[in-house]
Homo-oligomer: A and B are copies of this chain.
C-alpha cells in the first residue's frame, strides 16, 4: 500500500488443491444469492484493457449501485490503486504463481469485503486467455474482453475462452484502422463456438460503445438484486 492514498486490502490467495473448485464456486453462488451481489468474472489477455474498462464501468454504475472490485494479480497493486481512485471498493488478491482465479480465491476475496458488501463486484481475473476459462468462480456473468491489436483470429486460437464467455467486448475499437482487424471476420470465427453471445465494440479510451454495454448489463444486475430481495422476504 506504499505510496497510495487509497486504502485497499491485499490478501494472499495462492492456489491450493483445485479438486474442490466446484464446491467453492457453489459457496460463492450461495453467498452472492444470500447477500445480494452480482458478480462479474472479467477475463482477457494481458493489456487488453480490463482495468480501463472497469474504470468506465465504475463511472457508469456507481451512482446506481455500490461497486467493488477484486483485483487478481500475481504480485502487484497498480490496478487496485486505479479502481480505488475511481470510487470502487478494491480488494487486491495476490495469486502468486497461479495463472487464474478459482472458486476458493474468489470466496476469500468476497469475505475480505467484510460486512460492507458491494452490490456489484467485478473480479478482474489474471490476464490470460487460457486458464481462467477453465475455472468456475461462481460468477453471475462471464465477461470477456478481446482487444483489436490481438487480432480477429483469436477465437480460433483460444476456443475455450470464447465458448464459455457470456458477453464479449471488443476493446480499443478506436485503433481498428491501425490494425488489420475485421469485426465481421472476428464474429465469423466466434459464432461456431458461441452462437448467441452479445458482442459490443468499445473503446475504454474514448468511451465509445460503453453505454450500449452498460444498458445491456443493468437489467441483468437488477434482476439478480431483485431476486435476492425477494428471497430475503
Q: What residues make up the interface of A, taking CB atoms closer than 8 Å to B?
A: 45-47, 73-76, 78-79, 97, 99, 126-131, 134, 147-151, 153-154, 156-160, 172, 175, 178-179
Contacts and interface: CB of A to CB of B under 8 A. Distances in A.
Given A97-B160, A159-B75, A127 B129 contact: yes
Contacts of A128: 99, 128-131
A126 B96 CA distance: 20
Given A46-B158, A73-B157, A128-B130, 7 more contacts: A74-B157, A76-B157, A78-B157, A99-B130, A149-B149, A175-B175, A175-B178
Nearest to A95: B130
A82 B99 CA distance: 29
A17 to B, nearest CB: 15
A129 B126 CA distance: 10
Contacts of A74: 130, 157-160
B47 A78 contact: no
15 contacts: A45-B46, A45-B47, A46-B158, A47-B151, A74-B157, A74-B159, A126-B130, A128-B130, A128-B131, A130-B131, A131-B131, A149-B172, A175-B178, A175-B179, A178-B178
Contact of A156 (B78, B147, B179): B78
Contacts of A97: 130, 134, 160
Kindly name the residue among A46, A151, A156 whose own CB sees the greatest number of chain B CB atoms within 10 A. A46
A149 to B, nearest CB: 4
Contact of A78 (B126, B130, B153, B178): B153
B78 A147 contact: no
A158 B99 CA distance: 10
